[in-house]
Structure 1
């Protein structure tokens, strides 16, 4: 199947089987390797992307389901993601770092929907992403810091 994918506002024409997981197209065909393979069964969140603004797991999303939709990966840019990156760095959030691209995408999804999330809001969204190093408290603090950074620039 030949299809056009819009990833981070750039169009890529790919030719793959229609049942190919989007994760492998993003990583192996397009060459954007920031989105990680973790479990392959939509449980860990390492492969999280935004699809038309909705948080999804790319390991279980078929390429045939995404033609014409906006795909946003960790390599993309957005105002919320930039503030989150600053806060992540300031808070020394990553330990091993493997899950962090999925964590950042999930946090971006959260801030795209809720301007000033509570701890409960953060926990509800971020609980779909597993961090084997247990940096959850640093992640929560960084999300609050990103909100504070954003509010300073408004």
Structure 2
């Protein structure tokens, strides 16, 4: 059996997603993004570039933001995965509310990844200035060009949480 054939053989993996153990059978070659969307049933992380360049598939892996298109599903076993669904499991977060207030949600495609990146930034820096927000959000692309509104939403969230200038 060739290596490629072995990669297509399903393996059983236990993923901890949003605090819940999920047992899934998947090929070794399946990305975490595809496992979350197709095997776990959480479509919030978006499939876009498949190269880790756009940020649409951002999730937390052990509390750090990662491009789930670059992580194999089997690599996430034994780690905590948090998706946009888990971040907002009890309704909209304050950050999501500020995105809406600022008009930062246009087509909505990039928003799950934008929110995950912004949440990570705010957890690391409670009071980011505009330059720090832009730098922290640099890996997330918005085709509708809502960057000014996204920055405003992140600033408003920082202020709301008591950390902004």
- 1:147 CA displacement: 1.1
- 1:74 CA displacement: 0.5
- Determine helix, strand or coil for the equivalent of 1:76: helix
User: What per-residue deviation string (whole Å, max 9, x for no partner) do you get for residues 10-46 of structure 1?
Assistant: 1100111122101010001111011100111111110
Q: Distance in 2 between matches of 1:119 and 1:34?
A: 27
Tell me which of the two structures has the higher relative contact order, counting C-alpha pairs closer than 8 angstroms and 6 or more residues apart.
Answer: 1
Partner of 2:146 in structure 1?
Answer: 135
Q: Distance in 1 between matches of 2:136 and 2:25?
A: 33
Query: What does 1:38-117 align with in structure 2 at a 5 Å threshold?
Result: 38-77=48-87, 82-117=93-128
Q: Which ranges in structure 2 are unaligned for 5 or more consecutive residues?
A: 1-10
- 1:77 CA displacement: 2.8
Q: Distance in 2 between matches of 1:48 and 1:77?
A: 12
Partner of 2:34 in structure 1?
Answer: 24
Is 1:15 matched with 2:25? Answer: yes
- Determine helix, strand or coil for the equivalent of 2:109: coil
How many residues align structurally? 151
**What TM-score comes out, normalization by structure 1 length?**
0.93
Partner of 1:3 in structure 2?
Answer: 13
Q: Distance in 2 between matches of 1:150 and 1:86?
A: 13
- Determine helix, strand or coil for the equivalent of 1:3: strand
Q: Which ranges in structure 1 are unaligned for 5 or more consecutive residues?
A: none
